[in-house]
Structure 1
Amino acid sequence: MAYGLCSVPAAAQDAAASATPAENAPAANLSAAEPEAPAQTEAPAAPADDTQIVITAQKRSENVQDVPISVAAFSGATLEKMNVVNIEGLAKVTPNLNVAKGAQTSYVRLAIRGIGAASNTTVEPSVAAFLDGAYVPRVGAVISSMLDMESVEVLRGPQGTLFGRNASVGAVSFHTARPKFGDNVSGDVTAEIGNGDRYKLTGVVNVPIGDKAAFRFAGSQQWFKGYWHNDFDDKQVGGTDDSILRGSFRADVGPVEWVFRADYAKIKGDAATNIDFDRSSVSEKQFAGITAFFGAPDTNLNDKHMNQFLTAHVNDEQWGLNSTLSWDVGGGSTVRLINAYRDWQNTQLDGDVVFMPSKLVSRTAPYDSKSQNHELQFISPTNQWLDGRFDLVAGLYYFHEKYEQGERLRLNSQFCKIVPNSALPSPPFPPGSTQKMLCNQLLAASGGTVEDAAVQDVHQTTDSYAAYAQANFHFTDQFFATLGGRYSKDQKEGSYDQQANVLLRTTVRAPESLTLPDIDDSRFTYRLGLNYEPNNDMLFFGTYSTGYKSAGYNSGAGFPSITQPGGAGTPVFPERRVFDRETTGDWELGAKTSWLDHKLTLNLTLYRMNIKGFQDRSFNGTSFTVRNAGNLRHQGFEFDGVAKPWRNVSLFASVAYLDSEFTDYPDASNWPGFGSIPGSPLTQDLKGKPATFAPKWSGRLGFDVNGDIGSGGYSWNFNSNLAFTSKFYGGLVNDANPQTIVDGYALLGARASLNGPGDRWTLSLFGNNLLDKQYEAGNLYQFLEGSGALAALFRNGEFNGSTAVRRLHADPRTVGASLTFRY
């Protein structure tokens, strides 16, 4: 079963090599692709038995119970049963994995064990994302949907040896379905409907060409209007139209196998997020002033309404190519060459950035990433070298990315209400001129809006080189050691340019233009492990592994409040545009066990991670900045259990405990409201405090039941999953502000299916968050909460440094139905 870490006997690996893929394998199987030589690194086939679970966490096909790593692995069929249709849903079935989304679709924050980084900046990710073996540098482009997936593997803990510098706390590996050989054309078509006016069509076709070649095509089109109602203009918002196409070709020619893939995805719509105003974060007097100044924002965290001026629109387009060439060089060894290219472009007008029912400031944010991966691998056999005592995985790697991001601020018709009435210098302005007078003149001259009032362009080019090797040494049939190392060299160059008109230089953005200093960083990361396997059903392991994120550039906008002393409009100094590397060291003790003839699986991993030079990205009310923020310690455990008391019943339970603590952070940001209290400190010591997005407890409980209906060939299936998370700090700033605490929540999902004779058709009813829990995915401080006269509206010393807070409303209850025909 693939409900997390699954039960697999050691001998099942040989069985998997001879198993034939089931036409409709049980959803509990970790299906991946057809079985091949033991050295293969492509995702393996759906096994005929649900105990034959195979993963590729160590670049070769291995049973999950034989891999001394904390892994959560799921087949595409299992993900469908649990209603996981995108990367955000993956967190609901994987404890210690968090996927946070923000106001921009380009903002996706993957975190494992409480550590992650946003994808819409120049900061390297902490959790690396891989698609068919190729690294995807921007998580916002990792995958548009779980279309025609074979499997997904979540590797928890540093993966610096085999997966590189961007996997300092873990990796998520996506495998799409490979073309299957055979005699007949096969495929399926699915029509789906859901609330929020959501309609979707999906199709897959597999076309064999003889016994050694095949094509596979998959595509989907979704129309979605959204879950939210904007009271400002009485419109339904939050939706997108998604188009996805994927094609692949596979051929075997003697000892060589080649798999070629191409994909294309496009997302268009408003993609608006519901960011409610937290009424309790301000006083009665403040809220009355806010309402009089801006109009009344929506403050009900328990409904589907919002109230703000909205001009949102997103255009996200990506395409990619992947070539995987595998050559059996004899003796059970394989040489594999992976070449991949990905082009991702995202442009989003994300509405009024103050989120108020006033026409103030809108932002357009363009992102453009062009990347290529080239990796040459050598995978030895597992049972032939030195009488089966030694095996090896080694490789050479090159990565290149050209990345551009930017920002365009537009002043809307009511912007002048937030401009201070302070005097302008004369000259160059006429005597007695004020900023508010100038603002009204500019808006009047431009017809009510000022385009490109602030323009930011950031460019970064990255080249990364690496060589790695990892070997297993079997001292006896029961003891073996794992030793691996990777040398990485990273080179970066970039530039930063921001221009702003005079109205924004003291309130929102500071002019700045510079060529960033070149970065030349290198690091050796390694893994040491000692493992004990007393029998085929038990594996105990102890591991120390390291990872790192390379030095980088701070792409946050220059703003007076984060600048060096020197007066309004002073830019971020060049030395603050560069931050140093972040390193991770991780101790793990684990056990993977199977009991009662594999009817019960119990796996446990204890860990302690130390992160030095933590690259902290904080938000100061108008823009982001990154710096090395001292040391952070995360420790805890991950438990996964699966029981199969009867042939058609599966029970699963997973729980993760996380103890997060800064061990050194003497000059962390203080709560923003302290800036309104005379003499109050602007920094604080966070030693002993937890990081954001680090809940102490997370987990899930569930079951899967199936059966037959009479003797006519009909069958049924019912699956349910309850995911829970305890409270955590959910703000964008590490400041341990109690205002940013997100309450714990539990989400119930279920799917019921009826299958026709021979599984030729399936009718399903499904839902997520069935109890309609109104919960928040995270929060942020009100934009412009500390700017000039607005600070008096949003900040209140009566509440000990508090400020106005916005809550990102997560998805409400979603329900739907689908009908699938197979041929």
Structure 2
Amino acid sequence: MKLRYSALYVAMALVFAPGALLAADQQDASPQNPSSQNPVPAEKKVKQLDAIEVSATKRETPLQKTPVAVSAITPDTLDKERVMTVQDLTKLVPGLQATAQGDHGVVTLTMRGIGNDSAKTEYADPEVATFVDGVYSPRAEAAAGLLLDMDGVEVLRGPQGTLWGRNSTAGAISFQTAKPDINAGFYGNAQIEAGNYNLMGARAAVNLPISSTFAMRVAVVHTQHDGYVDYQNPASQLPSVAQQQATYLAAGLNPAKFRPIDPSLFVQGGDKYGAQDQSAARVSALWQPNDAFKWNLSYEYFIDRGTLNMSLMQTPRQGQKFWSALIDTSPYLHRNSGTVRSRMDWNISDGMQLSYIAGYNRFSGKSQFDQDSGVQVPTSFATGASSQNDRTNSSNYKSYSHEFDLKSVGQQTVDWIVGAYYGYEDNNIRFDIPIMNGTMVSESVAWQGSFIQPKETVKSTAVFGQATWHMSDHWRFTGGLRWSDDVKKNIDGRGWGWAYDPTVPQVPIAPSTYPSPATGFNISTRNDARYSDSRLTWLARVDTDIGEHGLLYGSVSTGYKSGGTQDAGTLYKPETLTNYEIGTKFVFLDGRLTWNTAAYYEDFKNFQLSAPITYPDGNRGLGFNNVKGSTKVAGVESELAFQQKDDRANLILSVIPKKELGTLLYAGSNDYQGLPRCAPQSGISACMDISGNDLPHAPTFSLTAIYEHDFHLGNGGRLTPRFSGQYQSDQWLSTFNLGDGDKQKAYFRGDLALRYTEPQDRWWASAYVQNVTDGRVRTSAGRFAMPDGSFQYVSQYLAPRTFGVQLGVWF
């Protein structure tokens, strides 16, 4: 894969070389505040674990004194685990699963068994909300580009509807970027990386104090590697010309139009599926004219020129490699995201603070994806296979939000916070699906459609309040309420379906073709609709100290995700979740050992499931269903952390013995061919009853273990081996629960690393291997109906074994 952003490396060298020289001249100068996303020197890193603070309650509180199930992930851990996307967080958080789904590459999150991995395109609303510096991000795949220069990540488990608002039904992820520091002086870090699959990467950050009241911070990153999926040679798989002609004639097609399959129709070169080519940059500023006011402002830009992940045959054809596919659609991905984030804090008095948090984002993308996965080999240029290209011609998402928080500060009998929120989204998309019989140039259309949504808007308004009453020195009661109002509109949205007009040439729809009767299309769905509803979410919690180093809490809380519009202009209902939880937090060994545990029971009403579906008339769309009755989930999760001068260890446990769907008689998905024909009242052509099935992406048992040890060398340097591994029991990959092909069996996936840190903590070098055993871990599934009546399952997989080396400097 060619290097497209070499200028970025040159710029980084020019910007940061002077800083490196400055550090060389000041041999005794140690970094006062080494940048996040790079490790802190071990002597400075070793501190009591109960000193870690979180903002889960929208005020800074010690993690061990915060009565919320929250995982706090430090910059050091983010770096050593090579966490670059939201998806990489999963092994560090109990009950969290993530996938990058299919033709859109949308990142979908599941928390405690609750999620929706078919939530795609412009309609998507997640059950796990993502925030960056307090600003809600509707698009998780660009929430924090490559997790650049982070100050930490907090993952809040369970509904967070009172303080964090809509779409935090199952939880919320809060990213905190590293902020400029006025008092710390000039410092920074830089890192380069190389590995297999032609991996190349670089990142750097620098703190720039401009004056006694103003500072800036600049951070950049670029990472790229070749794709994991090789192209199969069609010559070894296509039938002979004589066989093609015989099959073509047997199908009753016009003999005069027969032509042999051209092997060049299949892709055999260029960028591969599963490639990465991403860059991001952030400029942050801090203005603090006095002790009573400060303003943090940042602009971040993220570009993605990689490729989507390919769905692979679970059982490859004989003679073919597992990491390969017979591909007739070249991968393409083009994404840009620009974000402004702002936070102003005023200390109105000694006991009161006002905050204003605002954000603005523009996200655009184009892509194309081989949806047929190369499962079926054409028997002639117009028979034996369906060739499907899922293509996003354009997608544009614009969002902004404003939030005002007024809260108490300092020691109070009652800690309180009140706030108001307004968010707006304006989205549009054009998405084409040409499906041809045989090959993509067969001149025989199986079906094709174009989905054009020129304007879809979301308006979300909320007011909220939460208070904690310190009933005594050891007992506290917290209550909270949030009223949310959501309005969604689809304006002039149309689904166009193939009309099978024999007078119109049967060719795949091109991006430049606007569908109309003249080009062979009729309107299949009119999507104009308006949805409006409001909901009240609430929290009640009691917590108490257990001795000097323990905390016990019990809570009942609710979460809410709005309903909305869908294809054909029909509406779906909002979903609500009630969570009953009891938890403990303990500190042992003078702060060197912490143990946090939570047990929960969740009752989910009107759980929303979405999937691509086929209507009885043969046209297609994206359909939403609300699961009737209660979807129930129960589980236990636990986090154990140990840290002393030379040893650090973590155990992260999730047990979910109950994860049962409510009632849904008519569940369908085009990703699963061969479902039974559906009753006419269902409104779709194929479906099955999934009532009472297990939820997907919810293994009964999951355990992550991390351990590292510092060996002190004679020269004063440190050598640190690190082990990180995760075991998960088997789990379903869809709500259909269709058997082994629709399941990921129990697996173990382990990573190893070895890091050397030089005596003065000025630089370090590391070597790593991820997925040491080269295991094949499925994250999704689908199936194709084969001519002999069998089914071939396909899945997307976590990356194969990767390895590399890193070199980093502090200055």
Are 1:804 and 2:805 matched, yes or no? Answer: no
Alignment of 1:580-591 (within 5 A): 580-591=573-584
Alignment of 1:491-506 (within 5 A): 491-495=487-491, 496-503=493-500
1:77 maps to 76
Are 1:398 and 2:419 matched, yes or no? Answer: no
Deviation of the 1:374 alpha carbon = 0.3
Are 1:724 and 2:727 matched, yes or no? Answer: yes
Measured in 2, the distance between the counterparts of 1:669 and 1:310 equals 26
1:605 maps to 598
Measured in 1, the distance between the counterparts of 2:599 and 2:143 equals 29
Deviation of the 1:738 alpha carbon = 4.9
Alpha carbons 2:678, 2:688 under 8 Å: kept:
no
Measured in 2, the distance between the counterparts of 1:413 and 1:667 equals 28
Alpha carbons 1:182, 1:210 under 8 Å: kept:
no
Are 1:320 and 2:339 matched, yes or no? Answer: yes
- Give ranges in structure 2 of 5+ residues lacking alignment: 1-29, 234-266, 382-386, 510-520, 615-619
1:793 maps to 787
Deviation of the 1:596 alpha carbon = 2.8
Letter aligned with residue 391 of structure 2? T
Identical columns (%): 23
Measured in 2, the distance between the counterparts of 1:818 and 1:499 equals 50
Measured in 2, the distance between the counterparts of 1:234 and 1:380 equals 63
1:23 maps to 33
Alpha-carbon spacing, 1:276–1:300, altered in 2? closer, same or farther (3 Å): farther
Measured in 2, the distance between the counterparts of 1:794 and 1:619 equals 25
SS of the equivalent of 1:80 reads: helix
Measured in 1, the distance between the counterparts of 2:598 and 2:742 equals 30
Measured in 1, the distance between the counterparts of 2:449 and 2:51 equals 60
Measured in 2, the distance between the counterparts of 1:503 and 1:92 equals 49
2:400 maps to 372
C-alpha distance after superposition, 1:501-544 (max 9, x if no partner): 32499999973343533211100000000111133311101000
Measured in 2, the distance between the counterparts of 1:726 and 1:147 equals 32
Alpha-carbon spacing, 1:669–1:795, altered in 2? closer, same or farther (3 Å): farther
Measured in 2, the distance between the counterparts of 1:695 and 1:603 equals 20
Letter aligned with residue 698 of structure 1? S
Measured in 2, the distance between the counterparts of 1:85 and 1:382 equals 36
Are 1:250 and 2:244 matched, yes or no? Answer: no
Match of 1:627 among 625, 628, 634: 625
Measured in 1, the distance between the counterparts of 2:550 and 2:450 equals 61
Alpha carbons 2:224, 2:276 under 8 Å: kept:
yes
SS of the equivalent of 1:90 reads: helix
Measured in 1, the distance between the counterparts of 2:370 and 2:37 equals 41
Which is further off, 720-729 or 456-465? 456-465
Letter aligned with residue 135 of structure 1? Y
Which is further off, 508-517 or 692-701? 508-517
Match of 1:578 among 568, 571, 577: 571
Measured in 1, the distance between the counterparts of 2:586 and 2:37 equals 22
Over the aligned positions, Cα root-mean-square deviation in angstroms equals: 3.2
Alpha carbons 1:126, 1:167 under 8 Å: kept:
yes
Give the TM-score normalised by structure 2. Answer: 0.81
Deviation of the 1:816 alpha carbon = 0.9
C-alpha distance after superposition, 1:349-379 (max 9, x if no partner): 1235453466833232132110001000112
1:615 maps to 608
Are 1:698 and 2:707 matched, yes or no? Answer: no
Measured in 2, the distance between the counterparts of 1:372 and 1:411 equals 37
Deviation of the 1:50 alpha carbon = 4.5
Alignment of 1:557-576 (within 5 A): 572=568, 574=569
Are 1:551 and 2:579 matched, yes or no? Answer: no
Alpha carbons 1:124, 1:552 under 8 Å: kept:
no
Are 1:514 and 2:526 matched, yes or no? Answer: yes
Letter aligned with residue 726 of structure 2? A
C-alpha distance after superposition, 1:748-794 (max 9, x if no partner): 11222111232111111122111111221211133xx4xxxxxx627
C-alpha distance after superposition, 1:158-196 (max 9, x if no partner): 000001121011001111100112363211221110111
Alpha-carbon spacing, 1:382–1:678, altered in 2? closer, same or farther (3 Å): closer
Which is further off, 494-503 or 654-663? 494-503
2:113 maps to 114
Alpha carbons 2:36, 2:178 under 8 Å: kept:
no
Alpha-carbon spacing, 1:165–1:795, altered in 2? closer, same or farther (3 Å): farther
Measured in 2, the distance between the counterparts of 1:71 and 1:302 equals 42
Alpha-carbon spacing, 1:28–1:347, altered in 2? closer, same or farther (3 Å): closer
C-alpha distance after superposition, 1:90-126 (max 9, x if no partner): 1122220011112235411111011123353413210
Alpha carbons 1:122, 1:554 under 8 Å: kept:
yes
Alpha carbons 1:353, 1:363 under 8 Å: kept:
no
2:639 maps to 640
Letter aligned with residue 563 of structure 2? A
Deviation of the 1:609 alpha carbon = 0.5
C-alpha distance after superposition, 1:554-592 (max 9, x if no partner): 24xxxxxxxxxxxxxxxx4x4xx3101101000001111
Letter aligned with residue 252 of structure 1? Q
Letter aligned with residue 705 of structure 2? L
Measured in 1, the distance between the counterparts of 2:623 and 2:352 equals 48
Letter aligned with residue 656 of structure 1? S
Alpha-carbon spacing, 1:181–1:794, altered in 2? closer, same or farther (3 Å): farther
Measured in 2, the distance between the counterparts of 1:597 and 1:778 equals 44
Measured in 2, the distance between the counterparts of 1:154 and 1:301 equals 41
Are 1:747 and 2:744 matched, yes or no? Answer: no
C-alpha distance after superposition, 1:174-228 (max 9, x if no partner): 1110011236321122111011111112121111123332110011122322222
1:709 maps to 713
Alignment of 1:223-262 (within 5 A): 223-232=224-233, 233-235=267-269, 237=272, 238-254=274-290, 255-262=292-299
Which is further off, 92-101 or 361-370? 361-370
Measured in 1, the distance between the counterparts of 2:38 and 2:558 equals 32
Are 1:775 and 2:777 matched, yes or no? Answer: yes
Letter aligned with residue 303 of structure 1? F
Measured in 1, the distance between the counterparts of 2:686 and 2:123 equals 26
1:6 maps to none
Measured in 2, the distance between the counterparts of 1:697 and 1:418 equals 49
Alpha-carbon spacing, 1:761–1:416, altered in 2? closer, same or farther (3 Å): closer
C-alpha distance after superposition, 1:412-441 (max 9, x if no partner): 79548989xxxxxxxxxxxxxxxx5xx59x
1:185 maps to 186
Which is further off, 518-527 or 75-84? 75-84
Alpha-carbon spacing, 1:299–1:23, altered in 2? closer, same or farther (3 Å): farther
Measured in 2, the distance between the counterparts of 1:374 and 1:811 equals 38
Letter aligned with residue 533 of structure 2? D
Deviation of the 1:46 alpha carbon = 8.5
Deviation of the 1:406 alpha carbon = 2.6
Alpha carbons 1:160, 1:546 under 8 Å: kept:
yes
SS of the equivalent of 2:803 reads: strand
Measured in 2, the distance between the counterparts of 1:465 and 1:638 equals 33
- Give ranges in structure 1 of 5+ residues lacking alignment: 1-19, 32-44, 280-296, 420-435, 441-449, 556-571, 786-791, 797-802
Measured in 1, the distance between the counterparts of 2:451 and 2:605 equals 35
Which is further off, 626-635 or 160-169? 626-635
SS of the equivalent of 2:800 reads: coil
Measured in 2, the distance between the counterparts of 1:591 and 1:471 equals 21
